[in-house]
């Protein structure tokens, strides 16, 4: 099987090691990995800011960049869910709608693809740390993902999962929300980090790097003894 990687903007610009980890994990799971260097943004930022015409142009490019029939795997639910759900709004009633439908069926978040498509739940990963899980809004509400990250993490040697209080509550990022409402966003991330500290965890993990960026910035600003790590990096550890 050949799998195409989609690397979201946050991963490409800020966390490139997460993209490498995703490729490493997929190869360990027995698939061939293909990366189209011409890929860019999926259009979510423009769409969420109300610039639908601009978002449509970016989305057209995305569909052309991933025009084959291979599964497309992404290290994050935010972009994956956007492509699966919101391209409908951009292309409904157009000649590109059938192309969107094909793309939608080929689009997967990493842990979903591993567990539900490849039926892989154990990779031989080793991460001897206590870890708590942040369920991002995109994963829960848009992609409908919750169990898959936990299934994989339970099979990581040396890893102990400690669940977070209010783990389904937003971390305060929300894209431009954190820019438009910084006081509310700061209060939300403060609560998220405090709940993580209360578990005694060493790391907070999530499927979405944007949430982890928001959480890590609060941790760094306040010199808190806690770290964030994308689940792809956890799964790639020890391979």
Mean pLDDT value of segment 164-186: 86
The confidence score (pLDDT) of residue 180 equals 82
Confidence of residue 106 (pLDDT cuts 50, 70, 90): very high
The residue among 175, 174, 167 whose CA lies nearest residue 206 is 167
CA 209 – CA 119 distance, rounded (Å): 24
Q: Is the pLDDT of residue 238 over 90?
A: yes
- List Cβ neighbours of 13 (8 Å cut-off, separation of 6 or more): none
Confidence of residue 57 (pLDDT cuts 50, 70, 90): very high
- List Cβ neighbours of 33 (8 Å cut-off, separation of 6 or more): 2, 3, 5, 23, 26, 27
Cα 160 to Cα 56, 130, 133: the distances in Å are 43, 5, 11
For all residues of the chain together, what is the average pLDDT? Answer: 95
pLDDT over 70, % of the chain: 100
The confidence score (pLDDT) of residue 177 equals 81
The confidence score (pLDDT) of residue 121 equals 98
CA 102 – CA 196 distance, rounded (Å): 39
Q: Is the pLDDT of residue 178 over 90?
A: no
Mean pLDDT value of segment 82-99: 96
pTM: 0.95
Confidence of residue 219 (pLDDT cuts 50, 70, 90): very high
Two tokens, residue 22:
């995703």
Write down all domains in the chain, each with its CATH number in brackets: 2-117 (3.40.50), 130-236 (3.40.50)
Q: Is the pLDDT of residue 179 over 80?
A: no
| Concatenated DSSP letters of the chain | -EEEEE--HHHHHH-HHHHHHHHHHHHHTT-EEEE-TT----SHHHHHTT-HHHHHHHHHHHHHHT-SSS-EEES-HHHHHIIIIIHHHHHTTSTTHHHHHHHHHHEEEHHHIIIIIS-------B--SEEEE---HIIIIIS---HHHHHHHHTSBT-EE-PPTTTTS--S-TTTHHHH-HHHHHHHHHHHHHHHHHHT-SEEEES-HHHHHHHHHHHHHTT-S-EEEEHHHHHHTT-
Q: Is the pLDDT of residue 175 over 80?
A: no
Q: Is the pLDDT of residue 176 over 90?
A: no
pLDDT digit string, tens, across residues 108-161:
999 999 999 999 999 999 999 999 999 999 999 999 999 999 999 999 999 999
């Amino acid at each position: 099987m050949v799998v195409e990687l989609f690397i979201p903007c946050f991963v490409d610009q800020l966390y490139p090691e997460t993209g490498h980890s995703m490729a490493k994990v997929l190869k360990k799971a027995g698939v061939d990995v293909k990366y189209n260097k011409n890929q860019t943004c999926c259009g979510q930022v423009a769409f969420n800011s109300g610039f639908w015409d601009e978002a449509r142009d970016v989305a057209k490019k995305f569909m052309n960049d991933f025009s084959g029939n291979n599964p497309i795997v992404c290290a994050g639910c935010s972009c994956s869910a956007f492509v699966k759900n919101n391209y409908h709004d951009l292309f409904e009633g157009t000649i590109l709608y059938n192309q969107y439908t094909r793309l939608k069926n080929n689009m997967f978040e990493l842990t979903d693809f591993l567990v539900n498509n490849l039926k892989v739940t154990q990779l031989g990963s080793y991460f001897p740390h206590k870890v708590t899980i942040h369920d991002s809004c995109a994963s829960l509400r848009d992609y409908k993902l919750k169990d898959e990250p936990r299934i994989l993490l339970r099979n990581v040697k040396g890893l102990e999962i400690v669940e977070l209080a209010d783990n389904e509550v937003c971390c305060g990022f929300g894209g431009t929300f954190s820019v438009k409402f910084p006081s509310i966003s700061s209060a939300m991330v403060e609560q998220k980090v405090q709940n993580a500290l209360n578990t005694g965890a060493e790391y907070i993990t999530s499927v979405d790097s944007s949430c982890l960026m928001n959480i890590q910035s609060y941790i760094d600003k306040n010199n808190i003894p806690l770290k964030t790590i994308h689940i792809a990096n956890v799964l790639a550890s020890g391979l």
